[in-house]
Amino acid sequence: MESGRNTHIPFSEPPWARFLLSDTRPAVLWLVLRVWLGWGWLQAGMGKVGSPAWTGEQAGAAVAGFVARALERAGGDHPDVPGWYAWFLENVVLNNAAVFGHLVAYGEVLVGAALILGCLTGIAAFFGTFMNMAFLLAGTVSSNPIYFAVGTWLVLAWRNAGWYGLDRWVLPALGTPWEPGSLFQQRR
């Protein structure tokens, strides 16, 4: 190896990873997991949209209650909520509870709808796992670990997880940052 030069060494994917994450044959597996997860997110969000405590006249009340319970779990010898996250909840989320109420409610609906439709599946799954992580950091377990695990796999399988959905047409049209799709290619 020559000194002073960057060396590029590509690593090939193992066959099982190539099959699960970029082959269309297991797309039916991803369809089942994607719709199941999407339905969970959609139901959670629809229960919040229009609710007075989430997006209505007392918007933010539900978030304020959630934060108060999380802050109770931030103390003691073995806190469920890390100190830095408790600070974030107390100083950022609590001060903007109404905004976060709308973000959570509509975010859950959008993630759920996108997953069910198979539209921008990897991006939708990423934002779903982002919300799961926020809830987990606040000390709420519930279905969050399962949703996080399935969502993470959908993020990894972004190339084929929406094959039985809108991504079959959306992804080739949009492309990726490193390879523009048909909508962004120069026409001569």
Q: End-to-end CA distance of the chain, in Å?
A: 43
Long-range contacts (CB closer than 8 Å, 24 or more residues apart) made by 77-82 = 80/139, 81/137, 81/138, 81/139, 82/137
User: Which pLDDT score is estimated for 3?
Assistant: 57
User: Which pLDDT score is estimated for 188?
Assistant: 53
User: Which pLDDT score is estimated for 56?
Assistant: 95
User: Which pLDDT score is estimated for 6?
Assistant: 75
So where are the chain's domains?
29-169
Taking the whole predicted model, whether its pTM rises above 0.95 is answered as: no
Helix (H, G, I), strand (E, B) or coil at 29: helix
User: Which pLDDT score is estimated for 5?
Assistant: 72
Helix (H, G, I), strand (E, B) or coil at 109: helix
What would the pLDDT profile of 54-77 be if each residue is shown by its tens digit? 999 999 999 999 999 999 999 888
User: Which pLDDT score is estimated for 187?
Assistant: 64
Q: How far apart are CA 178 and CA 89, in angstroms?
A: 36
User: Which pLDDT score is estimated for 161?
Assistant: 96
User: Which pLDDT score is estimated for 10?
Assistant: 86
Q: What is the mean pLDDT of each run of 10 residues along the chain (188 residues)?
A: 70 90 94 98 97 96 97 92 97 97 98 98 98 96 95 96 96 91 79
